[in-house]
Amino acid sequence: MREMTGGEAVYEALQALGVEHVFGIVSVHNIPIYDVIQQRGGITPISVRHEQAALHAADGYSRATGKLGVAITSTGPGAANGMPGLFEAQFASSRVLMITGQIETQYYGKGKGFLHEAENQPQMLRTLAPHTESIPRTEDIAETIVRVARQVCTGRPRPGAVEIPIDLQYGRGEVDVPHVEGWPRPKPSRETLSQASALLRDSKRTVIWAGGGVINANAAGELTQLAETLNAPVFTSINGRGSIPEDHPLALGPLANMPNFADVLKNAEVVLAVGTRFQGGATRNWQLELGGKLIHIDADPGAINRNYHADVAVQGDARLALAELLKELDSAGNDNGYTADATNTRDAAREQIRGEIGPDYSAIMDAMRDALPRDANIVRDATVPAYLWGNRLFPIYEPRTSMNPTSAAIGPGLPLGMGAAVATGKKTAIIQGDGGFMLSIGELATCAQHNIPVVICVFNDGGYGVLRTVEARTFEGRQFGVDLATPDFAKVAEGMGIHGEHVSGVDAFRDAFARAVAADGPVLLDIDMTALTPMAGLGSPPRKKED
């Protein structure tokens, strides 16, 4: 134990956890923490412009590395601003920790109207961060932060939060800083693994379904090796992309919900699901028929049997489970005809999607992939280009390089990408719509201040393109609330210290994107969607007004 201030205790706990960056905004209710970070070094604070972005960036940081992502906010309005980021992190099973302030303990719980008073802040945070604690003494700060971080990082990741009253941050006490050596992995039972290996050994028509749990467990290598051992085709969820390279002969991509694949799934003798909840979008809201026996491996026992009945339920870490199965299945293998049918269906489905998005967007997608390294980060917001080709067809080759708002929220794209870029130092391409971009446009200033290496591709159709399509199909063509007065994004970027370009047409995009990837620091491309061939099923966006 050592005597230290509460701010020092937070810093020492973060150091013990191996934290190298924190995201947030300095406030009167967290300033002692930031002061120590500034004095001691070793942890780089990234000053965002909104607490929601702090949580999203911490989320992107965690997804890109597997490490703990940390956001530091103020109490009251600051913590409330971070709630959408916690919502996304819990939906995506991310290792995210919020450290937030609180008013002085002498006023806490008395409802006196003190500055930033938030009497029910822990209850609010627990609705999205199940591992939330309020600290009663300076002496408890470091131990509590490490304990909550352990809960966040063990099993299925879920966000957590720690509330620290401001007088405890200034106060002094004898603090014990726990030693951290890593987190335990839940071990699957020998009995369930034996049952699973017996089914797989006898099956000649096995298909694998890999979810985000494969990525969280760092099990991409084991997943790919098992697929090769079984000669089994692999579907991924969108969160599971990168668990097998999408140019691998057995990779089917995130296309299981396409009608083309109905027979592949229906005719399977065994479906091996690893680290997935079978979310609604991937399963056509659970109308997708899975044939044969289902083996379900997941660190979260609550995910098993929630949406599909498992014939064999393996509760445990994906990497440990797959490694054990590999020891027992060196001679198993699929019927070549079944696997060939699956991969031929994949090729046809990819061509179908290319036909639907048309030649211009196909060329843009190819230009992006050609200009980026295999391990570049690709981040998509909830926007038409992401739904129609970014999430489904843009090739992903490495684990932890692909991310999108799992909750389908609009706006997280830029801060998620910021977090990924800060974490890895890699060039990060962001596919963003103009409507969603407006929710986080202030973070351009953050990108400029910290020279974050992002290429922000704003696909600009002057409004909410997804909702335009929904309204057109639902309300006899009537449109309301979907056309937006958008700023000149290139000029806004320039005004915030970032190079911005207007892009009109495929050739212009190809050249501009290549320059952006080669540039040092952030770049924004404002892409005029009215100059591109519309994607199938979507009407042309409203014409921009001429200057």
Residue 195, both tokens: 């049952």
Q: What is the percentage of the chain residues whose pLDDT exceeds 70?
A: 98
Mean pLDDT over 458-475 rounds to 89
pLDDT in tens, 105-114: 998 888 878 8
For residues 7 and 148, membership in a common domain is answered with yes
Residues 6+ apart with CB under 8 A from 367: 506, 509, 510, 513, 514
Reduced to 3 states (helix: H, G, I; strand: E, B; else coil), residue 172 is: strand
For residues 302 and 219, membership in a common domain is answered with yes
For residues 299 and 419, membership in a common domain is answered with no
Residue 541 inside a domain? The answer is no
At 316, which CATH number? 3.40.50.1220
For residues 525 and 380, membership in a common domain is answered with yes
Number of domain units in the chain? 3
Identify whether the C-beta of residue 161 lies closer than 8 Å to the C-beta of residue 129: yes
Q: What pLDDT score was predicted for residue 182?
A: 85
pLDDT confidence bin for 539, thresholds 50/70/90: low
pLDDT in tens, 4-58: 999 999 999 999 999 999 999 999 999 999 999 999 999 999 999 999 999 999 9
For residues 356 and 505, membership in a common domain is answered with yes
For residues 235 and 153, membership in a common domain is answered with no
Q: What pLDDT score was predicted for residue 193?
A: 97
Average pLDDT, the chain: 95
DSSP notation for 10-70: HHHHHHHTT--EEEE---TTTHHHHHHHHHH-SSEEEE-SSHHHHHHHHHHHHHHHSSPEE
Residue 485 inside a domain? The answer is yes
Nearest partner of 233 among 282, 195, 194, 268, judged by Cα: 268
Q: Residue 546: pLDDT above 60?
A: no
For residues 164 and 218, membership in a common domain is answered with no
Identify whether the C-beta of residue 364 lies closer than 8 Å to the C-beta of residue 509: yes
Residue 183 inside a domain? The answer is no
Residue 544 inside a domain? The answer is no
Which string of b and e fits 236-250 if b means at least 16 CB within 10 Å? bbbbbbbbbbbeeeb
Q: What pLDDT score was predicted for residue 470?
A: 85
For residues 122 and 201, membership in a common domain is answered with no
Nearest-5° Cα angle at 300, 299 to 305: 115
Q: Residue 545: pLDDT above 60?
A: no
Nearest partner of 535 among 336, 349, 360, judged by Cα: 360
pLDDT in tens, 140-165: 999 999 999 999 999 999 999 999 99
Residue 318 inside a domain? The answer is yes
Return d(Cα 21, Cα 275) in angstroms, integer.
28
Q: Residue 544: pLDDT above 60?
A: no
Residue 339 inside a domain? The answer is no
Mean pLDDT over 193-198 rounds to 96
pLDDT in tens, 294-344: 999 999 999 999 999 999 999 999 999 999 999 999 766 899 999 999 999
For residues 52 and 16, membership in a common domain is answered with yes
- Sheet with 69-73, strands from edge to edge, namely 44-47, 21-24, 69-73, 96-102, 160-165, 131-134
Which string of b and e fits 514-526 if b means at least 16 CB within 10 Å? eebbeeeebbbbb
Q: Residue 498: pLDDT above 50?
A: yes
Domain boundary among the residues 303, 334, 365 is at 334
- Identify the domain containing residue 258 by its residue range: 190-334
DSSP 287: T
Q: Residue 166: pLDDT above 70?
A: yes
Residues 6+ apart with CB under 8 A from 493: 444, 456, 499, 500, 524
For residues 370 and 295, membership in a common domain is answered with no
Q: What pLDDT score was predicted for residue 542?
A: 61
pLDDT in tens, 383-392: 999 999 999 9
For residues 495 and 350, membership in a common domain is answered with yes
Residue 545 inside a domain? The answer is no
Q: What pLDDT score was predicted for residue 225?
A: 97
At 111, which CATH number? 3.40.50.970
Domain boundary among the residues 175, 201, 228 is at 175
Identify whether the C-beta of residue 307 lies closer than 8 Å to the C-beta of residue 277: yes
Residue 17 inside a domain? The answer is yes
Q: What pLDDT score was predicted for residue 110?
A: 80
Domain boundary among the residues 334, 362, 385 is at 334
Mean pLDDT over 74-88 rounds to 97
pLDDT in tens, 213-241: 999 999 999 999 999 999 999 999 999 99
For residues 144 and 245, membership in a common domain is answered with no
70: β partners: 97
Return d(Cα 210, Cα 465) in angstroms, integer.
30
Q: Residue 547: pLDDT above 50?
A: no
Reduced to 3 states (helix: H, G, I; strand: E, B; else coil), residue 308 is: coil
Mean pLDDT over 531-543 rounds to 74
Q: What pLDDT score was predicted for residue 111?
A: 83
